[in-house]
Amino acid sequence: MTKGKLLLAAVFIVQLVCSVFFVSEIVLTIFNVRARPISWQTRELMEIGATIGLIIGPIIGAIFLRNSMRRTAIVEQKLKAASGAFMDVMAERFDDWGLTPAERDVALFAIKGMSIQEIADLRQTSEGTVKAQTNAIYRKAGVSGRPQLLSLFIEDLLDVDDRVRIAAE
């Protein structure tokens, strides 16, 4: 367990004990149960300790929340960089293959996993046109179908992820 998690668990336990202290006071008073008397100084110290314990919880929680939000922002930046780099790699591949603008659109939709029918509907063309364009894409890319086309980009994505990770370090 990391130090942060251990600290968070400790604060949670302290807050639980403090809450039980205050709630037990109320419950004992409601049911008119008398506990063995303790000196007022000891009681004051216990209440001050319990109050401090309850105050520390939100402070530590806010610190953990702030750190978590920072980590999330960093991860989102890395994801954005990887996504942008992947789009650059994809555009570069499309240039290398000499795809037409229509073929680029079809290739992008195919990589996103859309069916021939969905691509045809989006592009407002016939399925036959989309099939011809996908065949031209596969031929220019040197692959036999969508799975191989996707594998080219998955390999590129893994390479991009490595480059982004190295650049971030």
CATH code of the domain containing 168: 1.10.10.10
Domain of 5 in residue numbering reads as: 1-74
Cα angle 59, 62, 67 (rounded to 5 degrees) comes to 130
Q: 16 in a domain, yes or no?
A: yes
Mean local confidence (pLDDT), 143-167: 72
pTM above 0.75, yes or no: no
For position 130, what pLDDT does the model report?
94
Q: 80 in a domain, yes or no?
A: no
Lowest mean pLDDT among 27-41, 53-67, 89-103, 122-136: 27-41
The most distant pair of C-alpha atoms in the chain lies apart, rounded to whole Å, by: 91
Taking only the tens place, the pLDDT of each residue in 54-65 is: 888 889 889 989
Domain count along the chain: 2
Taking only the tens place, the pLDDT of each residue in 61-111 is: 899 899 999 999 988 888 777 777 778 888 888 999 999 999 999 999 998
The reply to whether 123 and 159 lie within a common domain is yes
The reply to whether 6 and 47 lie within a common domain is yes
| Residue where a domain terminates, one of 39, 58, 74 | 74
